[in-house]
Amino acid sequence: MERFRLIKDRILSKLMLILTVLSVSVVLVIGIGLYFKSIPILNNSSWWKLLTSSEWKPLKGLFGFFPFIMGTLWVTGIAIIIALPLCLLTSFYITEYAPNRIRKILVPFVNLLSGIPPVIFGVWGVLFIIPLIQDHIAPHFVEFSTGYSVLAGGIVLAVMIFPLIVSIVCEVLNTIPNELKNASLALGATKWETIRKVSLRKAKPGIIAATVLAISRAFGETIAVLMVCGNNAVVPHSVFDAGYPLPALIANNYGEMLSIPMYDSALMFAALLLFIIIFLFNIISRVILARLERKLAI
């Protein structure tokens, strides 16, 4: 009996080890799999050429990813510019100013937002943001815009990353010792001065980590952006131009890719690019956050 229990423990432990190793190695397998599938196109032209050429003519075998990379950067940039200040101010309000009663109502709403599926954000973008840009914002700046633009993509993405930034920044702000803030307040600083000179400085690594994480989230978001971005394979020159981010490229062209040579390899290369960038960004921010956590635990 005793023997049996120990053997059972050992067998189960090995099984769990295998499952753990398998699920962790998914990261590697994805990277390797995508790389192998991209080999045909990498043999055909160099990394540099693929990344900097603007010619996207699959039928002629020309695959230049520059417009898509720029589309991604524009959309992500706009999203961060909108979301970061709003989220920082919100987090400061929630952690420093809001009375307990209001805080208890606010936090769940931010969490609810994170549960909404991407496609719903996309529908909202089409129904609300597009008409808003077309009728009320764009006419002030340009002659004509359909509304389907990198600005629309950026706004929708910004709303999507609100909960991510707010929850991380709030968590970081909550870990700042009260003594530190009280010392500043006791010296006669106003609350805002304390936030600016004490909290903000203390929370800097956490804020950077949250931003990097938000950027990588925005990079990979597919369907919501695809629905509002216009999907035009040219480099955007203003916020009212249409853009065509990398994830949208993959999602839009999967059906037809098998009939054109190299097309599937090109799309897998796009996925590989996304994977590499997001992998690196995630590692950076997660290591920063883990280190912060450990510092506080001591």
Partner 1 sequence: MIKRKIEENFFRVLMVLATIIVSGSFFLIVGTIFYKGVPFMSWDMITKIPGGGFYIGKEGGVLNAIIGSLYIAGGSTVLGLLISIPVAIYMNMYLSGKNFLVNSLRIVFDVLFGIPSIVYGAFGFLIMVYFGIRASLLGGIVAVTLLVIPILVRTLDEVMQTVPKELRDASLSLGATRWEMSKVVLRQIRPGIFTAILLSFGRAIGDVASVLFTAGFSDNIPTSLHQPAATLPLAIFFQLGSPVEEVQGRAYASALILTIIVLIITILSSVLAKRFSKNSSR
* Of residues 111 and 238, the one with the C-beta less far from partner 1: 111
Would you list the DSSP string of 144-196?
Answer: ---S-SHHHHHHHHHHHHHHHHHHHHHHHHHTS-HHHHHHHHHTT--HHHHII
* Of residues 52 and 190, the one with the C-beta less far from partner 1: 190
Residues between 130 and 169 with contacts to partner 1, criterion CB under 8 A: 159, 162, 166
Distance CA(95)–CA(36), nearest Å, equals 48
By residue count, the chain amounts to 298
Contact between 295 and partner 1 by CB under 8 A: the answer reads no
Q: Which of 42, 73, 116, 262 binds partner 1 (CB under 8 A)?
A: 116
* Of residues 24 and 186, the one with the C-beta less far from partner 1: 24
Other CB atoms within a 10 A radius of the CB of residue 284 amount to: 15
Q: How far is the CB of 145 from partner 1 (least distance, A)?
A: 20
Q: Which of 128, 139, 183, 197 binds partner 1 (CB under 8 A)?
A: 128
- In sequence order, what E strands does 39-188 have? 56-57, 62-63
Distance CA(27)–CA(32), nearest Å, equals 9
Q: Which of 271, 292, 296, 298 binds partner 1 (CB under 8 A)?
A: 271
Q: For residues 55, 60, 63 and 68, what is the CA-based torsion angle, rounded to 10 degrees?
A: 60
Distance CA(163)–CA(158), nearest Å, equals 10
Other CB atoms within a 10 A radius of the CB of residue 94 amount to: 19
- Part of the chain binding partner 1 (CB under 8 A), chosen from 57-65, 73-81, 133-141, 280-288: 280-288
Residues between 220 and 259 with contacts to partner 1, criterion CB under 8 A: 220-223, 227, 247, 250-251, 254
Contact between 279 and partner 1 by CB under 8 A: the answer reads yes
Contact between 181 and partner 1 by CB under 8 A: the answer reads no
Among the listed residues 244, 245, 240, 233, the one whose alpha carbon sits nearest the alpha carbon of residue 134:
240
Residues between 194 and 213 with contacts to partner 1, criterion CB under 8 A: 195, 213
Q: At 230, phi and psi to the nearest 5?
A: 95, -30
Q: At 234, phi and psi to the nearest 5?
A: -125, 160
Q: Which of 67, 122, 153, 206 binds partner 1 (CB under 8 A)?
A: 122
Contact between 12 and partner 1 by CB under 8 A: the answer reads yes
Residues between 85 and 114 with contacts to partner 1, criterion CB under 8 A: 85-87, 89-90, 92-94, 97-98, 106, 108-113
* Amino acid code (one letter) for 3: R
Q: How far is the CB of 237 from partner 1 (least distance, A)?
A: 26
Query: Going residue by residue from 61 to 90, which x/- string records binding to partner 1, judged by CB under 8 A?
Result: ------------------------xxx-xx
Contact between 57 and partner 1 by CB under 8 A: the answer reads no
Contact between 290 and partner 1 by CB under 8 A: the answer reads yes
Which DSSP symbol is given to 243?
Answer: B
Q: How far is the CB of 143 from partner 1 (least distance, A)?
A: 26
Close Cβ partners of 210 (under 8 Å, ≥ 6 residues apart): 164, 165, 168, 169, 172, 285
* Of residues 214 and 233, the one with the C-beta less far from partner 1: 214
